Structure 1
Amino acid sequence: MEQMILIPGGEVQLRDDRVKTKWTARVDSFWLAPVPVTNALYDRVMAEGEPASGTGMPVVNVSWNDAILFCNKLSQESGLQECYSISEDGESVSCNWEADGYRLPTEAEWQYACKAGTTGYQYGELNAVAWYEGNSGGVVHEAGQKLPNAWGLYDMLGNVWEWCWDIYDENVYGSYRIFRGGSWAEEARGCGATCRRRSHPTFHIDDLGFRLARSLR
């Protein structure tokens, strides 16, 4: 597990263009991984046999549920307190924010970290900071090959979408969870700090992965 980056606390303005709402969220200091979870780390922790080809590639085809299980397993392996409690039927997941284990970032944490103090939709010139439809050649790329943002975070835009903790809109979409950031298959306008997507927690696809966070304790 690579060294995580300390993200300073602050505020971030979120928006939901679907219902034309905006709100401000307070973000406490937390740790965030500099790159998405890779095949090498995922396969080792989940003990899925031989490492996948391209071990430095971000892991994809992982559901939100898969990401939650991974976080708990890595916490156990690391001697940390698990953040997630999962019901017997797997339908309900709660988070202990006081735990020191690995978890998914919240949507507010993710966007705040992505912007890294910048104000624009993208934290740099897109070809320089992201793999997206216009430059990826139609495939995922090894993590950390483009320029990082001001806080040393790579691939926050492009390469793979990243699951966040939050439910999107329980009244309309039920248990659908949010993912952020764009991907190698996404057009330029979808690779931005405020772009929001959602899907069922069992959904998985070849351009969707996740990144690890930890609460600062």
Structure 2
Amino acid sequence: MVDIAPGRVELSDRRTERRWTVEVAAYRIASVPVTREQYARTFGAGGVPDGGLPFDSVSWLDAVRFCNALSEREGLASAYRLDGTNVERIDTSQGYRLPSEAEWEYACRAGTEGPRYGELDEIAWYRANSGGRVHPVGEKRPNPWGLHDMLGNMWEWCWDIYDPAVYGEYRVLRGGGWFDEHWSCRVSVRRRSHPTLRLDDVGFRVARSGRADSGCEVAG
């Protein structure tokens, strides 16, 4: 986990041409997406083939349940209260959770400007260089704050609802994936999906509110 200092980020939506600014409080975010090995270990399984690959074909609800399971495993209060498919975030919890869309973009940008934080082939797996498959996490160059695979390889779930007036409960996806063209692997690109849907180019990374007392890099 990498500590991220407070800041401000401007989000935009190409479809509606809307722009909005969000103040981001201090938080922590994982340096890589959740892997197959980490997912299996959290639920008490082992011996997972290709354990270094990001965990894919995971629904938003699966990701939320994983966050609670990881919190419980580490003795932390759960960040979510679940009632069937209804999910309520517990804002006072220091447990694991999905990043908000603003937190995701703020971390992805890492103080840079423009559509990407580096040359695409150096930082991301996408259609032109992936060979039509997902790759192990952390193989590409990280962004200036030490976060790998923020662009390319796997789309990542965020906490936020995309546009409730138009798409109902669909949740936000960010980052682009291994099968996407270069224009989808940009910091500001937004995608959406139903919270129960599982796709082979969708994964997630975890976040936590606040900062660690020690032992984490502070970025921002």
> Could you say which TM-score interval applies, normalised by the shorter chain?
over 0.9
Say if 2:163 is the partner of 1:166: no
- Residues 156 and 203 of structure 2 are in contact (CA less than 8 Å); yes or no, is this contact kept in structure 1? yes
Structure 2: segments with no counterpart, 5+ residues = 212-220
TM-score calculated relative to the size of structure 1: 0.95
Q: CA-atom RMSD, angstroms?
A: 0.9
- Which residue number corresponds to residue 21 of structure 1? 18
Task: State the shift of 1:115 in Å.
Answer: 0.2
- Which residue number corresponds to residue 201 of structure 1? 195
Structure 2 distance, partners of 1:186, 1:111, is: 18
Residue type matched to 1:26 in 2? E
- Which residue number corresponds to residue 77 of structure 2? 81
- Which residue number corresponds to residue 52 of structure 1? 48
Task: State the shift of 1:46 in Å.
Answer: 2.1
TM-score calculated relative to the size of structure 2: 0.94
Q: Which runs of 4+ in 1 moved over 3 A?
A: none
Say if 2:111 is the partner of 1:117: yes
- Which residue number corresponds to residue 149 of structure 1? 143
Q: What secondary structure does 2:99 align onto?
A: coil
Structure 2 distance, partners of 1:185, 1:53, is: 22
Structure 1 distance, partners of 2:99, 2:19, is: 20
Structure 2 distance, partners of 1:183, 1:172, is: 25
Q: What secondary structure does 1:136 align onto?
A: coil
Residue type matched to 2:31 in 1? P
Q: What secondary structure does 1:44 align onto?
A: helix
Identity of aligned residues (%): 53
Q: What secondary structure does 1:72 align onto?
A: helix
* Structure 1 residues 132-176: Cα deviation after superposition (integer angstroms, max 9, x where no partner): 001000010010000000000000000100000000011111110
- Which residue number corresponds to residue 211 of structure 1? 205
Task: State the shift of 1:98 in Å.
Answer: 1.6
User: Number of residue pairs matched?
Assistant: 211
- Residues 15 and 194 of structure 1 are in contact (CA less than 8 Å); yes or no, is this contact kept in structure 2? yes
- Which residue number corresponds to residue 106 of structure 1? 100
Task: State the shift of 1:91 in Å.
Answer: 2.7
Structure 2 distance, partners of 1:165, 1:41, is: 20
- Residues 61 and 85 of structure 2 are in contact (CA less than 8 Å); yes or no, is this contact kept in structure 1? no
